[in-house]
Amino acid sequence: MAIQKITVKEFLQLSATNPVLDVRSPGEFTHAHIPGAFSLPLFTDEERKIVGTSYKQQSRETAIKTGLDFFGPNMRKMVEAAEALISAATEKKTGANKTILIHCWRGGMRSAAVAWLLDLYGFKIYTLTGGYKAYRHWVRESFEIPAYFNIVGGYTGSGKTLLIHELKKTGHSVVDLEALANHKGSAFGAIDLPQPNQEMFENLLAKELSIQPAAAKIWMEDESNRIGNLNIPVSLWKQMRSSPVYFLEIAFEKRLEYLVAEYGSIKKEQLVNSIIRIQKRLGGLDTKNAINFLLEDDLASCFRILLRYYDKCYGKALQNRENLSGLLNKIPCESVDTMINLQNLLHATILEKTV
């Protein structure tokens, strides 16, 4: 069977039903990869370094021979690993064939070598033209594509994330930025949640955007340009900032009750560290008082200080939008009740369409 080279778009379409093998080194894969891909490295990190040095300091031919020394003993293992993937895919779907997608960094010798081996064994092989580098170009371009967003807004403690989750459960198009970033937002967002690096976050985000139905209204939570240590791509964030905002108006005390219940069981040490992370912006006196209240088990007083700070920050960011009056849709809500507020939210979108 002939090995076929295909574009990123074709590659990603086939990846929905067929396994993807990333034959770059373990270090390259760990740093970032195509979501859902499996690591089947042609070389270890050290072997890749040796082959690369041979290429630069000696010749292409010497590098290939060096690579073959590493590749030869592992041929059987690579075939068996590919068989295991096909077997697992067969269990998940009816009529699975022996199709495998392969890529390396630039679509060069590494993917060509593994593709040759698996094609020889009898698999149907597709390789990615331009490799992972071409995929990353596609990722960056995907954030430039115009999209239609509905933004769920509201001060901290409004239950915006709960609404996003419920919208997704009920079949609406949703891109959950905080889930992709592995972060809850606010000073407490990173507690026990290691974030992906920027490149992997962008890969995950591009995938989520690509699977949304054409011309769909995509619900997203209102965010600053940063989520923890990660940046929302500038072009995408600009689109978010010019999209309709459905702002949940919930009383301060109701939001405070929700936050105390949400974060009350977290270890004090973790909460103290979270407060210290924002002490420069919070101010010395409020930082000191918030920590003292926390140590005295007065969570409400502690969170009251933090909530006032976050309300001020969010209010300023909200007002900085261009054409805010044309984008802002205020939704009065009595409390942080996800199901009731969901109905209020959807009702507001219906009213907007009829105006």
Which residue matches tokens 């978010």? 240
The vertex-137 CA angle with 133 and 139, nearest 5°, equals 115
Question: What residues contact 353, with CB distance under 8 A and at least 6 apart?
Answer: none
Pairing state between β 226-227 and 230-231: antiparallel
**Residue spans of alpha helices (H) in the chain:** 8-15, 26-31, 45-57, 60-71, 75-92, 109-121, 131-142, 160-169, 177-181, 198-210, 234-241, 252-263, 268-277, 279-282, 284-295, 299-319, 324-327, 338-354
DSSP 28-89: HHHH---TT-EE--SS-HHHHHHHHHHHHHT-HHHHHHHHHHHHGGGHHHHHHHHHHHHHHH
Local structure of 21: helix, strand or coil: strand
104 is an active site residue? yes
Q: Rounded CA gap, 271 and 263, in Å?
A: 9
Q: Rounded CA gap, 228 and 191, in Å?
A: 11
Question: What residues contact 61, with CB distance under 8 A and at least 6 apart?
Answer: none
Can you read off the two tokens belonging to residue 296? 């005295």
Q: Rounded CA gap, 355 and 101, in Å?
A: 49
Rounded alpha-carbon distances, angstroms, from residue 169 to 151, 166, 220, 280, 339: 17, 5, 14, 39, 12
**What letter represents residue 284's amino acid?**
G
- Tell me which of 104, 302, 313, 333 is the catalytic residue: 104
**What letter represents residue 267's amino acid?**
K
For residues 144 and 238, the answer to whether their CB atoms sit within 8 Å is: no
Q: Rounded CA gap, 192 and 268, in Å?
A: 13
Q: What residues are annotated to the active site? A: 104
